Structure 1
Amino acid sequence: MKSSIYVFNLCGLFFIVVAIVYGFYTDFTELVGFPALLLVGLMAMMIGVYLWLTDRRVGRQPQDNEDAEISDADADYGMFSPWSWWPIASAAAAAVAFYGIAMGWWIFPFGVVLGIIALVGLTYEHDRGDFAH
C-alpha cells in the first residue's frame, strides 16, 4: 500500500504543478484545461490521502512485505453459487430499466419490477429447494 500512496500523491502533485504552469501559459483565460488538470491532481491527492489514512489505521499489509506469499493476502470473499441464473436476470432487469430511461419512461417501471423479482430471487435462492440450509 505504501507504493500506491507514493504513486497517487506524486501524480497529484505533478498534475497540480502542470495545471498552474498551464494556467500561466494561457493567462488563466482557457477555462477547460486548467480546472480539469487541477481537479485531476486534487482527486489523485484525495486517493493518496485516503490510502495513507487507511494504512495508518490498518497497519502493515502483506503487499508491503518483501517475503510475502500470494496466499498471505487471501481473504474470504463469501459464498457464490456457480449454478445461479439470478445474476443474469438482474442484469436483464437493469438493461430494461436503463433502456426505459433512454427510450421511454413507460418502460422503466417494467425494469424496476423485474429488478425487484431478480433481487428477491437472488437473495432467497439458498432458502428453498435442494439448496436450503
Structure 2
Amino acid sequence: MRASIFVFMFSAVFFVIVGVIYGFATDFGELAGFPALLLLGAMSAMIGIYLWLTDRRVGRQPQDNDDAEISDADADYGMFSPWSWWPITCAGAAAVAFYGIAMGWWIFPFGVVIGIVALIGLTYEHDRGDFAH
C-alpha cells in the first residue's frame, strides 16, 4: 500500500505543478485544461490521503511484505451470482436515464422506473425462486 500512496501523492504534486505551468503558459485564459489539471491533482491527493489513513489504521499489508505469498492477500469479496441478469438490467436503466438527460427529459422517468425495478430485483434475487434461502 505504501507504493500506492507514493504514486498517488507524487501524481498529485505533479498535476498541480503542471496545471500551474499550463495556466501561466496560456495566461489563465483557457478554462478547460487548467482547472482540469488542478482537479486531477486534487483527486489524486484525495486517493493518496485515503490510502495513507487506511494504512495507518490497518497496518502492514501482505503487498508490503517481500516474502508474502499470493494466498496471504486472499479475502472474502462477497457473494456474487454469476447467473444473475439484474446487473445488466441496472446498466440498461442507467443507459436509458442518461440518454434521457441528453436527448429529452421525457425519457428520463422511464430509466428511473427501470432502475428501481432492477435494484429491487438485484436486492431480493436470493430471497425468491430456486435460490431462496
| 1-structure distance, mates of 2:118, 2:19 | 47
Query: SS where residue 79 of structure 2 aligns?
Result: coil
- The code of the aligned residue for 2:118 comes to A
Is 1:67 the counterpart of 2:67? The answer is: yes
1:77 aligned partner: 77
2:109 aligned partner: 109
1:30 aligned partner: 28
| 1-structure distance, mates of 2:36, 2:86 | 41
1:52 aligned partner: 52
Q: CA RMSD in A?
A: 2.3
| 2-structure distance, mates of 1:100, 1:38 | 31
The C-alpha deviation readout for 1:52-106, integer Å capped at 9, x for no partner, is 2211111000100101111211111111111111112222222211111111111
- The code of the aligned residue for 1:124 comes to Y
**For structure 1, which runs of at least 5 residues remain unmatched after alignment?**
none
Q: How far is 1:43 from its partner?
A: 3.5
Q: Percent identity?
A: 76
Pick the structure with greater CA Rg: 1
Alignment TM-score, normalising by the size of structure 1:
0.80
Alignment TM-score, normalising by the size of structure 2:
0.80
1:94 aligned partner: 94
Q: How far is 1:8 from its partner?
A: 2.1
Query: SS where residue 52 of structure 1 aligns?
Result: helix
1:10 aligned partner: 10
Q: How far is 1:9 from its partner?
A: 2.2
